[in-house]
Amino acid sequence: MDPVPVKSSSKSQVLAFPEAETTPLSRSTLTRTHKQLLDDLGRDRLVEMYRKMVEIRSFEQRAEQMYQQRKIGGYLHLYMGQEAVAVGLLAALRPDDYVATSYRDHGIALALGIRAELLMAELFGRATGVSGGKGGSMHFFSKEKNLLGGHGIVGGQIPIGLGAAFRAQYMETDQISLTLLGDGAMNQSVFHESMNMAALWSLPVIYVVENNQYGMGTSVERSTSVKNLAMRASAYGMEGVQIDGMNLLECYRTMHEAVKKRRESPSPMLIEVKTYRYRGHSISDPGQYRSKEEIARYRKIDPITQVRRLLEELDWLGEADAKALDKAVRDEIMEAVKFAEESPEPELAARDRDVYAP
Ligand SMILES: Cc1ncc(C[n+]2csc(CCOP(=O)(O)OP(=O)(O)O)c2C)c(N)n1
Ligand SMILES: [Mg+2]
């Protein structure tokens, strides 16, 4: 879906960015590109991606329950509904690429392959957690997986992802920096500064805006003048595209092509992924600014159900196997809870460690 130049009402030219098509996955409606993609991926890879999405959902359902039982404190921003984004995008990256995201980071960390027990322990504030129990839900970091956070400051990750791309260019590696942000974060000034610098220096950063249509209780309709967020790329002479984030294959295809192009010749890109969060902004948000009908509309095109149906239609995963997979994942998450509960709290001496004090 390349931007198409069209004539504007004035004499200057603007780029039109087509709206993403939303066609839920089904064997009968697969595009030729998706069929090719399925051939390339093969059964095992698709089942693995499905499993990862189920793991993210299951992890968060359990985390939500643990929070309600007061075993987890602090903030908890759930990713449910957005699983295809994390899994589709990260499946197209190499292990040495960089990833930075916002506080809504559970799905990204799991999709990167960080073990659920390390993440659950972090939510429980235990020393075995991925950030030593001192970061909590919003601050997952992993040096091993090149996860540069988990950031509680809206847009805080935007220049950090830019810096990682700068490093890749400076050191002459062909690494990519994937930097995810929300629709709300796009209105932070640092977004514009970073986009400008990325384009000016042709840095290998892929900015992905997870447009879940709300920034806390404020809809994109009310907060943002240009509704097609991908269009902002044109202001910086950058490639931009809008895609359906409920569709796993679309997320994977777009990222796969974007990465391939940038490994050969670095340049930045903006991808707007249209998605939806089922839960409130955080666990303490009852979400009264949107209707039950709206949520039900998205539940109908649930990203996990879409893939499950496709796997069944392709005869790649029958009902019994899918149920067994669900159960195995649920058991694994219960093990993660057990690990977290049995882990020690950080020692007092760890309090001042890893703290930056200029
Ligand atoms: C600099 C800053 N301003 C305000 C906040 C409060 N805040 C937390 S999340 C949020 C909304 C962000 O929405 P969006 O970027 O769409 O991400 P989403 O929560 O939808 O994933 C705001 C305003 C903050 N954490 N940091
Ligand atoms: Mg948002």
Does any domain span residue 25?
no
Find the 239 Cα to ligand 2 centroid distance in Å.
Answer: 22
Residue 98 has a pLDDT of 98
Residue in 80, 183, 216 to alter for ligand 1 test, most ligand atoms within 8 A of Cβ = 216
Integer Cα distance of 20 and 16 in angstroms? 12
Share of the chain above pLDDT 70, in %: 96
Does any domain span residue 240?
yes
Confidence of residue 149 (pLDDT cuts 50, 70, 90): very high
Residues within a 6 A CB radius of ligand 1: 102, 104, 152-154, 182-185, 212, 214-216, 281
Does any domain span residue 18?
no
Integer Cα distance of 131 and 354 in angstroms? 10
Helix, strand, coil % over all residues of the chain, rounded to 5: 45, 10, 40
Q: How many domains is the chain partitioned into structurally?
A: 1
pLDDT tens string 71-126: 999 999 999 999 999 999 999 999 999 999 999 999 999 999 999 999 999 999 99
Q: Are 137 and 123 in contact (CB under 8 A)?
A: yes
Residue 19 has a pLDDT of 87
Integer Cα distance of 330 and 338 in angstroms? 12
**Chain mean pLDDT for the chain:** 94
Does any domain span residue 357?
no
Q: Any bridge partners for residue 179, and if so which? A: 100, 207
354 to 103, 112, 126, 140: CA distances (angstroms): 19, 23, 16, 14
Find the 335 Cα to ligand 1 centroid distance in Å.
Answer: 32
Does any domain span residue 71?
yes
Does any domain span residue 355?
no
Does any domain span residue 4?
no
Does any domain span residue 135?
yes
**Residue 223 belongs to a domain with what CATH number?**
3.40.50.970
Find the 181 Cα to ligand 1 centroid distance in Å.
Answer: 10
When computed from its CA atoms, the radius of gyration of the chain, rounded to whole angstroms, is 20
Closest-CA residue to 277 (of 136, 127, 83): 83
pLDDT tens string 199-228: 999 999 999 999 999 999 999 999 999 999
The H or E element spanning position 100 is: strand 98-100
Which is the closest atom of ligand 1 to the Cα of 281? 19
pLDDT tens string 274-294: 999 999 999 999 999 999 999
Structure-token pair, residue 27? 């064997």
The H or E element spanning position 47 is: helix 32-68
Q: Are 251 and 306 in contact (CB under 8 A)?
A: no
DSSP-assigned letter for residue 271: E
Q: Which residues constitute the domain of residue 339? A: 31-285+295-343
Phi, psi at residue 210, to the nearest 5°? -85, 95
